[in-house]
Amino acid sequence: MKNPTLKDVAELAGVSTATVSYIINGSRSVSEKSRQKVEKAIEALSYHPNQLARNFKNGKKNSIGFIVPDIANISFSVIIEEIETILAAKGINLIIANTKETPANEIRQIASLSNGLVDGLIIASTLSDYQQIEDLIPEHFPVVLIDRGISNCKADQVLISSETAMCQGISDLAACGHKKIGFIAWLENVYTTNQRIIEYQNALETNGLTFDGSLVKYSAPSISTARLADGLISQGCTAIVAGNDIITMDLVDLSLKQEFSQKKGFHILGYSYGDWYTWLPFLRTISMPTRDVGRLAARRLLECTRNPDTPSKEYVLTCSYHNSRP
């Protein structure tokens, strides 16, 4: 049997094809009686609108792209989940592109996706300046940047500040007697890395501790967290700040394997997207509003697709500090 058409639904419901179209697209109000007739006809015929044809007609792709630097990072996985949930409720698909922290990959993905493949982009960028991608993005094309700020940005940005939480965490470590606190950062020249090092430096100085650049170590796929931690401990550090959630989990894992057991009173201050490992007395966490970032980014992008002339805004969400100490 051939697939049922809009005309078949209209004939069974005893209404015009225009009325069926109004109900399916929500483009015009109709009587409740007509709506019920159409809904029953749709169910009886197992009718499914031709989404491709509808998209072609209205110029929409019914898809949003999310350009993410590291899909293995659990924080981005959580953000993806939140974005997908909100978009799915509107019948919109999410297309994910993983740049692997490579600017060239990001530029290529932006050029490809914004060239008629999606209706808008959410980007966690590896770039430093919006001018690097401005010419690739069509005029009035909806874009929301998240997590990592970018200079000269002409799109919405949803950023995270851990300044207050970092200061609270360093203050707590100082109260525990720590005077030499190291920092294991994520990749160099990444916005969040630079911001968190500045927040770490300010927090040390606020609490009367001296910032020492030699105690800041940069992580990379080829460098193990254990090696960096051993180096900081050999320099006299009795506490370490982990620059993101991946490094936090690495340090916790090392601690649970008793790698640091010989260092009595050793503490970790790390990033998380929730109240992780609350039973661990040596861990303090800076809890990131990761789910809120995903929700806000999705909602703002939907707003921009409805109203392309909406002025761009910058949103800054704040982290909270959690002390696991009993």
The DSSP 8-state label assigned to residue 180 in this structure reads -
Could you tell me where the beta strands, DSSP code E, fall in the chain? Answer: 63-68, 93-98, 121-123, 143-147, 156-161, 181-185, 216-218, 239-242, 267-272, 283-287, 314-318, 320-323
Structure-model confidence comparison of residues 243 and 6, the more confident one: 243
Residues 226 and 85 in one domain: no
Amino acid at 228: L
pLDDT at 263: 59
**Which pLDDT does position 282 carry in this prediction?**
87
CA distances from 317 to 160, 162, 167, 294, 302 (A): 5, 9, 16, 11, 19
Domain assignment present for 56: no
Q: Phi and psi dihedrals of 158, rounded to 5?
A: -115, 105
> Chain centroid to CA 296: how far?
10
Same structural domain, 37 and 186? no
> Looking at the structure, do residues 180 and 283 belong to the same domain, yes or no?
yes
Report if residue 79 sits inside a domain.
yes
* CA 268 – CA 228 distance, rounded (Å): 14
Given a cut of 50, whether residue 36 has pLDDT beyond it is yes
**Whole-number Å distance between alpha carbons of 109 and 158:** 20
* CATH number of the domain where residue 23 is located: 1.10.260.40
Structure confidence at residue 190 (pLDDT): 86
Examine residue 326 and state whether it is found in any structural domain, yes or no.
no
Q: Is residue 112 part of a domain?
A: yes
- Determine the pLDDT at residue 21: 78
User: pLDDT tens for residues 75-117?
Assistant: 899 999 999 999 998 889 999 999 999 999 999 999 999 888 8
Are 250 and 209 members of one domain? yes
Residue 241 lies in a domain: yes
Its pTM stands at 0.78
Are 295 and 150 within one domain? yes
Mean pLDDT of 120-128: 94
The Cα–Cα gap between 300 and 304 comes to 6
DSSP 220: B
Number of domains forming the structure of the chain: 3
Note whether 128 and 45 are same-domain residues: no
In a domain, 155, yes or no: yes
C-alpha distance from residue 56 to each of 50, 60, 62, 63, 107 (Å): 10, 7, 10, 13, 27
The sign of the CA dihedral 129, 135, 137, 140 is: positive
What is the rounded average pLDDT of the residues 120-125? 96
How many whole angstroms separate alpha carbon 303 and alpha carbon 299? Answer: 6
Same domain, yes or no, for 283 and 168? yes
For the stretch 127-150, pLDDT in tens is: 999 999 999 998 889 999 999 889
Looking at the structure, tell me whether residues 167 and 156 fall in a common domain: no
- Domain check: are 152 and 228 in the same one? no
Sheet with 181-185: strands ordered across: 216-218, 181-185, 239-242, 267-272, 283-287, 320-323
Do 268 and 296 lie in one domain? The reply is no
pLDDT in tens, 188-243: 888 899 999 999 999 999 999 999 999 999 987 778 888 999 999 999 999 999 99
C-alpha dihedral, 24 to 29 to 31 to 36, nearest 10°: 20
Domain annotation covers residue 261? yes
Q: Does the CA dihedral 250-251-252-256 come out positive or negative?
A: positive
Structure confidence by residue, pLDDT tens digits, 279-315: 788 899 999 999 999 999 999 999 998 888 888 899 9
Cα distance between residue 298 and residue 221, in whole Å: 30
Query: What domain range includes position 300?
Result: 62-160+291-315
**Chain-wide mean pLDDT for the chain?**
87
User: Percent of the chain at pLDDT above 90?
Assistant: 56
Tell whether 196 is covered by a domain: yes
Both 212 and 226 in one domain: the answer is: yes
Instruction: Verify that 243 and 280 share a domain, yes or no.
Output: yes
User: Domain holding 108: CATH number?
Assistant: 3.40.50.2300
